[in-house]
Chain A
């Protein structure tokens, strides 16, 4: 669905792909690897209007629940129902079958506030070096 090179990233490790009515959102490979074995995904409701940076869903791995944030403002127009039966898709395919939801962005200019793939990789390297 979305090669990392064509996505924009948040510091909290969500990615977004596309600018139109179906901007898909998921978590990065780095995030799924740290979160580890996903056992449950709570998806947002269709039609929900969200703001950039708002907590919109929850991923639970074994004994730990993580808030997931929306990279853009907009309306939730699709959710990945496959995750209800197979939440581990987030681990197996974080950039493709493990997408979480799709947004109709209300302010596409917000994309410019997000990191490119190159910037995100640099961010990960810096975070690893400095321990945060």
Chain B
């Protein structure tokens, strides 16, 4: 069974978080998976790889986050407001090309089981969209009805959405969990996620990221800070 290593990193802004995730994706090798909980310096907004900057800015304004840092992710998906969510990433071996829905199912089921163990009840949304529904991502991650493989509360309210990038046989998952929608303390939820994902992987002890990985992340964060990256669409 491959191991899941919980890695610790300093508090960062959004460009720093994105740069560090890309650094881990780039430097990662082998079957080990790495789970990192973000520590935010301040509220921020991230948006999907192919989304328009103007749309993300508009949605940030309507959320009351007009002055927040606005950063394009390397992963797909919609606009995410990091204003009280629990954001985490998982980097893992994704050698054989497989459907993204299977990855979401694995990760979200792991989180579901971890939360259940902690007494927090959720379910993985399995209802498919009507076949006539357009195939297009939602503008905002939490802006519409749940999509298949989202994690929802028992009453159907979405609590966890994720986005993926596949590069060179490796995958990066970035997830946003609305802790405010769950009646559980942050520390409980955090532990539940690690233990839930640890059911698929063998949970290894937490450790800090190596200094060279952090410095590679800092270098990559400059891309995520640039207008060329964020405003290219």
Contact = CB atoms under 8 A, between A and B. Distances in A.
B50 A67 contact: no
B164 A64 contact: yes
B76 A64 contact: yes
Interface in B158-173: 161-168
Contact of B163 (A30, A40, A64): A64
Interface in A25-39: 30-31, 34-37, 39
A62 B51 CA distance: 12
Most buried by B among A30, A65, A132: A65
A127 B96 contact: yes
B135 A37 contact: yes
Nearest to B75: A65
Interface residues of B, number: 29
Contact of A65 (B74, B97, B147): B74
A78 to B, nearest CB: 22
Interface in B65-95: 74-78, 95
Nearest to A61: B100
Most buried by A among B74, B76, B136, B164: B76
B62 interface: no
Interface in B4-46: none
A63 B76 contact: yes
Contacts of B162: 63
Nearest to B170: A67
A111 interface: no
Interface residues of A, number: 25
A31 B97 CA distance: 7
Contacts, number: 76
A12 B168 CA distance: 8
Nearest to B148: A62
Given A63-B164, A65-B164, A132 B49 contact: no
B99 interface: yes
A114 to B, nearest CB: 17
A65 B135 contact: no
Interface string B91-117: 000011111110110000000000000
Interface string A88-132: 100000000000000000000000000000000000000100011
A62 B137 contact: yes
A79 interface: no
B135 A34 contact: no
Contacts of B104: 63
A2 interface: no
A64 B78 CA distance: 11
A62 B164 CA distance: 9
A90 to B, nearest CB: 12
Given A61-B100, A64-B76, 9 more contacts: A36-B100, A37-B135, A55-B167, A62-B100, A62-B147, A63-B48, A64-B166, A65-B50, A65-B76
27 contacts: A31-B97, A37-B135, A39-B50, A60-B49, A60-B50, A60-B76, A61-B100, A62-B76, A63-B75, A63-B77, A63-B100, A63-B104, A63-B147, A63-B162, A63-B163, A64-B75, A64-B76, A64-B163, A64-B164, A65-B50, A65-B74, A66-B165, A67-B166, A67-B167, A127-B96, A131-B96, A132-B96
In the A-B complex, list the 9 residue pairs whose CB atoms are closest, starting with the nearest.
A64-B100, A40-B50, A64-B164, A63-B77, A37-B135, A67-B167, A65-B76, A132-B96, A63-B76
